[in-house]
Chain A
Amino acid sequence: MVGTQVWRPAIPGVRASLRREGAAVLLLLGLGLLVVYPTTFLIYGSLYSAPPGDPGSLTAQGYRALWSGENLRILAETFGLALAGSGAGLVLGLMLGWVVARTDVPGAALWEAMFTLPLFIPPVLMAAAWGMLAAPRAGLLNAAFRTLFGGEGPFNVYSAGGLVWYLVQYSAAFQLGVITGPLRAFDATLEDAGRVCGASRGRVFWSVVLPVMYPVVSNAFLYSFVRSFESFEGPLLLGLPAGIRMLATQIYEVIHQRHRPDYPLATAMGVVALLLTAPLVWLQWRLQRQGGFVSITGRGYAPKPVRLRRWRWVIFGGCFLYALLVVGLPVGQLVLGSFLRFFGLYGANAWTLDHYQRVLRDPFVLGALRNTLLLAAVGATLAVLLGAAVAYVSVRGRAAGWVRAGVNLLSWVPLLMPGVVLGIAFLWAYAFLPRSVSLYGTVWALLFAYVTLCLPVASRVNAGAFAQVSGELEECARVCGANGWRAFWSVVARLVWPSVAVGWILSFVLIVREVSASIMLAAPGAQVLSVSIVYLWGQGRLEEVCVVAVLMLVPVFLGRYLVGRLQRAELQRGGTG
């Protein structure tokens, strides 16, 4: 009886909650289908002695194998390398983000687009480019060093340092890309208040700007850390030759480099990656909930740039050097590579346009390009819409705590599992759907997988932006007679659109670059670009891979540049609030 007395009030509570928060609960259920269903297959795979569909028995052999000394060492090394890469990326991203968003450095919009370019280079090409630049003997940098100073060159990209450098490039570019928009929209009156109180510019940055920017920065850092933790191509091409193994390369080896793939071990590694990184997400969410991080309020805001005065050209020079080192060298290698007869061999007769002609006439690559552009545009749009819904519910929504926490956690899950096993999980999950649901083998399977994979980045970017906009702005609109949707659209959406646009571009690029799920789910006759890159790479046609990358790089770079320009123009127009 006591039990009945306890439970009765709870049920109406849940019912009321369901009625009140219908849309949020619906979103939670949708995310469950999209995310939990494939994850269940992953967990099942880790606890079963055979892959789904084959006779087997429940077992913990995968987890037992995982706790060997070697695997634990790999986990620890992966953690350390990812932390080093994303930590250094955070410092660089913040510094450069502040420069391009908050100062009057010449060419800020151009630098912003430049600094984020590494994100758009296929990782396999970035690793190959750095292999050519900084290989111990034959690397161009070492050759230049020998010519200038004599002796052996000091650069060796096949090392822990080289691997961290590789991770830093992506990490800094991502964090800068996410942080810049909100930084630019940061209300300068907050900084002015700090300055009036006698704080130096540096102190104001650490004590005022950073704490207010916490949701954006922590989201970007955490996302970046997890991406580094699961990084694959760089560790494969740069780490393994130096004997450095990271989690994703170990999973790859367990699946692809054994006579029989060891799915229990591979999926157990995926589950452990999920378990190791999930607490970080929870912690970040908790911390985010404790603070108030609003920088755009109803009082109006003034995102005026900091005048650098005599430092203007010094910082311009610093930006130029960084762009040259991080972007100019690998991207230059890429662009040059697309015009070389043979990637890496230079000379008077080394140049050609043949690769462009061949790619632009190759029906396989052209078909893949067309499919990819369509899938990426639709997938990124759906992901951004879903991400906006997730961000709104978890950051600004009035749903019960458990709904918001659930929505937030589920939106992270696809990121917390390494792509190599997630591709397998999608394959298993979609193939074993009920007979009446024919998803497997169609282009829809790929679209669902892409939206799921883009959900973390789309949610993070949106969440960071939403957290900065004060709720009083919406309330003000409602007081003026606008309904909820109108208030959201005309107030919040207008303030956060630059971040949403960046989220769309990042999602678009993520889809274009995605390999694991694409290979596992690509419908016959609907190949995608990343698979055609695998195809060209498989034949050693690196120059044509460069052509494909350049063809993708140009529109994305222009898009990124335009978003930066538009945002600056809009802020200048209405910035004085």
Chain B
Amino acid sequence: MRIPGKGGVRSRAGVVLSVLAVCLLATLAGWGAPADGWPQVVEAARRENQLVLYDGHGGAIPTIQFAAERFQRRYGIRVEVSVMRASEAVERVRIEQRAGRPVADLVTVGSTTAWQMKNLDRTLQPLGSLPSGRKVSAQIRLQMEAWGIGDVMLTEAVQLYGILINTQLVPPQEEPRSWMDLLDPRWRGKLITDDPRAPGGGFVFFSATYKQLGRRYHEALSAQRPFLTRAIAEAANRVARGEFAIMYPFALGLFPRVRDLPNVKVVIPREGAPYVFQGVSMPQTVRHPNAARLFAEFLLSEEVQRQLARDYLLPAVAGTLLQAPPEVRNLLRARLWDTTDPPRADEQLKVAAEIYR
């Protein structure tokens, strides 16, 4: 993983110091150390024999289903996955907790949603220490601690965002090399984007570029009349079909879907890739707490982490990427540029709505 640019951590020295600080904190808190009594947790999980997982990514990360099947096979614990959108997962968890009828044991979330569930809804509980917790990349742990959600969200992967182009509509010499190239008048009316006014990839891109390139960048981009949509997988399909020349931001997790088509290509601009953490959280009251923790631990296993890389998601466990196929490595080694700021998400969404009317 390369060092973040101007965004969160601004200099190499800063990063070194920050990593040291995290290591120190982790040591003091016993964080990442093999949890005491883990075999008992596994035993209790087997006795619970069931796990209910709300997949708030709406099925967009296929690795979740993969992990559920493998977990079931390895431990014999039945995993019931319910697919829904993030807002629906948040509301189902909230109402279950308030009504005292807990159903979900785990919920897949992004960092902004986890922050909201912890601080506004107060529906999450700490996951506790996991034996593989120490394997999660230090940069991720640092950022999660900075937002104050390191205790309630386990990050299993990082979603990176680039640009998807239709090679029949975008000749090689005109391919965007920088995020600034999207402002070229030749792309007016030919861009499709994940809507930045709603939580999701479009908003991650908005937050990152707003911090890095400022408001005027987005005012100019808005003048390009991009086609705003929330159907991001279908947006990639539409680029492949030639309805649009360029899709931005393009979640690399969608790449396996269009990878084999001859007319599309992913470009990572030279500034780097906006990114967001993907993980799981455990609601305040659950019926299968041990199975939930065991599954969270399983997400950090080599088997799942490798699959995440195959699905073009940057594995959270440092070093996994080295074992990924070269074409995956080349894309996922992109420079991590910037991401959202969960505590300021509400305010930034309002700014996005002002600019993109």
Contacts and interface: CB of A to CB of B under 8 A. Distances in A.
Interface of A: 51-54, 128, 132, 135, 137-138, 237, 240-241, 253, 255-261, 342-345, 364, 424, 427-428, 431-432, 435, 438, 440-441, 519-520, 522, 524-525, 527, 531-532, 534-542
A531 to B, nearest CB: 6
Given A257-B198, A534-B83, A539 B257 contact: yes
A259 B233 contact: no
Contact of B236 (A54, A259, A531, A540): A540
Interface in B92-144: 92, 94-101, 103-104, 112, 116, 120
A427 B195 CA distance: 27
A536 B233 CA distance: 10
Nearest to B112: A259
Contacts of B92: 427, 520
A53 B96 CA distance: 10
Contacts of B230: 257
Interface residues of B, number: 55
Contacts of B101: 431, 438, 440-441
B58 A535 contact: yes
A132 B237 CA distance: 11
A248 to B, nearest CB: 14
Given A52-B95, A53-B95, A524-B52, A258 B198 contact: yes
A68 B4 CA distance: 43
Contacts, number: 138
Interface of B: 52, 57-60, 62, 65, 78, 80-85, 87-88, 91-92, 94-101, 103-104, 112, 116, 120, 195, 197-199, 227-231, 233-234, 236-237, 240-243, 254, 257-258, 261, 345-346, 349
Contact of B82 (A137, A259, A522): A522
Nearest to A428: B95
Interface secondary structure of A, over-half rule: loop
Given A440-B99, A538-B57, A539-B59, A256 B231 contact: no
A540 B251 CA distance: 12
Contact of B227 (A54, A241, A527, A542): A241
B94 to A, nearest CB: 7
B12 to A, nearest CB: 34
B241 A344 contact: yes
Given A51-B94, A536-B59, A343 B83 contact: no
Nearest to A53: B98
Nearest to B97: A53
Contacts of A538: 57-60, 83, 233
Contacts of A520: 88, 91-92
A52 B24 CA distance: 43
Nearest to B85: A256
B261 A345 contact: yes
A426 to B, nearest CB: 11
Interface centre among A132, A537, A539 (most CB of B within 10 A): A539
Contact of A52 (B88, B98, B243, B346): B98
B120 to A, nearest CB: 7
